[in-house]
A and B are shown apart, each in its own frame.
Chain A
Amino acid sequence: MLVSDLKRASPHDILQAWQDGAISYREAMTLTGCENLFELYQACRSSRVALRSVLTDRELQGVEATVSDLIGP
């Protein structure tokens, strides 16, 4: 999904798209006006958007890139 598709979406649908992995947290913050990740999670909670517990592939790649130096061969 493109961010431009969500320009006219409701806040609830934007939060849902973020939790579906369709947009990044930064894109969700820009669209909803949330100032940080904590506010984004709070908005999900207040908007009854279920939080996923499994990382998306993109998030997993980000974590792997971040910790690769810390893990031995």
Chain B
Amino acid sequence: MNTWKKKPVTLIVADSGPLISLACADELRLLQSFGRPVLVADVVRKEWTRKLGAPGEERLTHWFDTAGGNQFRELRTPFLAVFIDAIAQEASGENPDATIGLGDAAISWILKNLPRLKSVDGESLPVGPEEIALVLTEDGPYGDGSVLMQRRAHVLSTRQWLKTLERLGLIPSSRAIIDEIQAGGRRVARYMADRPAEVDGGTRSDWKDGTEAVVAGRGEDQTP
């Protein structure tokens, strides 16, 4: 039985996989169910806009320019210039795998530099050293490896997240969304993880309280 104390996560760092998947199913609004700000590395955003016609790309771009912009922040990392150069290497055929791992490296860098984060506009973000980030990913277990080394980050996979939203009554069926994503031309990895950060010996992170608050708020809105 769980006996540890729970400390809420305070921000969500989204990998490109879940964003593209949600865009394919036209369910990007679900990111707001965390009730937390969503941060995306500049490299991750570049990753989804580089392939014209990639599944969900248009919806992603539109969403972050409109409704998602209220919750979403794009972070500056030292990897963007390297990533752009790697894209050129892939395009020229010099190195067809040049971009592999750079998105993961950017997320790992963000987790290591929480107190020093800046938006792409150069604005400092108020993230304290004691805050806990949740990484939403579907890229495991190998892509998750760089995060795995950092026990202060909570890791959640797309599948486990959607299944929890179903149990909480926020969506009717996680299976239906995954089927929709696959109908949009994208396969969702079977990877399943909900790995709390280990804050200290007796305390671990929890992400669900924010979602439960959103569920409760929705219930109140529907009360006549």
A interface list, Cβ under 8 A from B: 7-8, 10-13, 15-17, 20, 22, 31-34, 39, 42-43, 46-48
- Contact yes or no, B1 A47, CB < 8 A: no
Q: Contact partner of A46 among B167, B191, B208, CB < 8 A?
A: B191
**5 residue pairs bridging A and B, Cβ less than 8 Å apart:** A33-B159, A33-B160, A33-B174, A43-B192, A48-B195
B180: Cβ under 8 A from any A Cβ: no
- Distance of A17 Cα from B194 Cα, bound (Å): 14
Q: Is the CB of B1 within 8 A of A20?
A: yes
Set A13, A22, A34: member contacting B192, Cβ < 8 A: A34
- Measured as residues with beta carbon below 8 angstroms from the partner, the interface class of chain B is 20 to 34
In the complex, are the beta carbons of A46 and B193 less than 8 A apart? Answer: yes
Residue on A nearest B215 in the bound complex, by CB: A8
Give chain A residues whose Cβ lies under 8 Å from the Cβ of B174: 33
- A7–B167 CA distance with the chains assembled, in angstroms: 6
Interface pair B207/A10, CB less than 8 Å apart: yes
Q: Are A32 and B2 in contact (CB under 8 A)?
A: no
Whether, in the assembled complex, B131 has its beta carbon less than 8 Å from a beta carbon of chain A, the answer is no
**CB < 8 Å neighbour of B193 from A13, A20, A43:** A43
Q: Is the CB of A46 within 8 A of B195?
A: yes
User: A-B pairs with the 8 shortest C-beta distances?
Assistant: A46-B193, A11-B194, A33-B163, A43-B192, A11-B160, A12-B194, A47-B195, A47-B194
**CB < 8 Å: which of B140, B141, B192, B195 contacts A32?**
B192
Instruction: Kindly state whether residue B183 has any CB partner on chain A within 8 Å.
Output: no
Interface core residue of B155, B160, B163, B190 (most chain A CB under 10 Å) = B160
CB of A16 within 8 A of CB of B194, answer no
| Minimum Cβ distance to chain B for residue A62 (Å) | 22
**Is residue B196 contacting chain A, with contact meaning CB distance below 8 A?**
yes
Q: How far apart sit A16 and B140, CA to CA, in the bound complex (Å)?
A: 20
Judge whether A32 and B160 touch: CB under 8 Å. yes
B146-166 near A? 1/0 per residue, CB < 8 Å: 000000000101011001100
| A10 in contact with B1 (CB, 8 Å) | no
Q: List A contacts of B208 (CB < 8 A).
A: 8, 10
- Our pick among B1, B2, B163, B190 for the contact of A11 (Cβ within 8 Å) is B163
B26: CB under 8 A from chain A?
A: no
